Amino acid sequence: MTRFHVEYIEIKRDELKRLLPEQLSFFVFAGHILNEFVFLQKLSMACQNRGSRLLKRKHRDKRWQAQLDGNATQTLIVQRILLGKIYEAKVFLEHYAFKKAWFKQLTKSLRPEGKTALRKLKSAHKRDKKQHDKNPFYVGRNKFGFHYHIPPVLNLLTKDEHLPEVFRFFLTDHIGSALHQGNEEAITSAYLSMIALKRKSAKAGIGRTYDLLLHRHRLIQNLLGECISALIYPKEQSNELKLKNRTITLSEKYDINSFEIPWFLPKSK
């Protein structure tokens, strides 16, 4: 078991009412978005950990290939959900923060890392608008991750280049382990062909998409975290919210580099 420390903070509801209604709404949603990011990033890390361990195996047979296929599928599913969540966070910031007078005032009290994240995010959002419907985040959310949008995908899937030569299926007699691998390969190929991202291969495209996702994820995480901090600890000490904090110690048998999620699981007893 590994022991580690967590900073525990309490803020009473009446204290938060000192914020403007728009600030309070932003405060609540910002924390919610960060929670979603943390959870989905842990899923992504667990998939990557499993993939790395499988690729280190020297003995490779059909059982190994099944496990590798299952992990590739869950990795791409989590990636597309994260792409969609990042797109939603972008919309949230543009509609409820960037254009608001209170937010512009708040940014003056951000620490350097918060200001840097804000500047880079605004530049990234401008690039997104130029790409419009070929933007990886837009396509990930609206065509694959959050919606099953057939019309633009249909033409792509009628071309052999977007369909695997062989569709592989792994079926079980219980819920939770069946894998329709060829279907996922077709969807991934269609997604990569619809985004404005230069790549030499599908594998390279997936890697570049993940790098882009991770970079944007960190910028949003830094900005929202710094904004929450600035709302709790404003420059004017007279407006500082009253809170209680203490350090608590937790223990867990997993760490972020050993945690894995297998695709195939046995039937529960």
- Global pTM? 0.88
Residue 131: CB atoms within 10 A of its CB come to: 15
For residue 212, give Cα distances in angstroms to 9, 121, 200, 215: 33, 12, 16, 5
- Positive/negative CA dihedral, 108, 110, 111, 112: negative
Euclidean distance between CA atoms 196 and 139, whole angstroms: 10
pLDDT band at 237 (very low <50, low <70, confident <90, very high): low
Mean pLDDT over 40-60 rounds to 91
Q: What is the dihedral of CA 105, 23, 12, 240, to 10 degrees?
A: 10
pLDDT band at residue 257, thresholds of 50, 70 and 90? confident
pLDDT exceeds cutoff 90 at 219? yes
Overall average pLDDT of the 28-32 stretch:
96
At 200, the pLDDT band (50, 70, 90 cuts) reads low
Q: What is the reported pLDDT for 153?
A: 73
Question: Is it the case that residue 130 has pLDDT exceeding 60?
Answer: yes
Amino acid 91: pLDDT: 94
Q: What percent of the chain has pLDDT over 90?
A: 44
Query: Phi and psi (nearest 5°) for 146?
Result: -110, -20
| pLDDT, greater one: 68 or 200 | 68
Long-range contacts of 211-218, Cβ-Cβ distance < 8 Å, separation of 24 or more: 212/136, 213/79, 213/82, 213/83, 213/86, 213/136, 216/86, 216/121, 216/124, 216/137, 217/37, 217/41, 217/82, 217/86, 218/117
Count CB-CB contacts under 10 A for residue 74.
Answer: 20
CB atoms within 10 A of CB 96: 15
Across all residues in the chain, what is the average pLDDT? 87
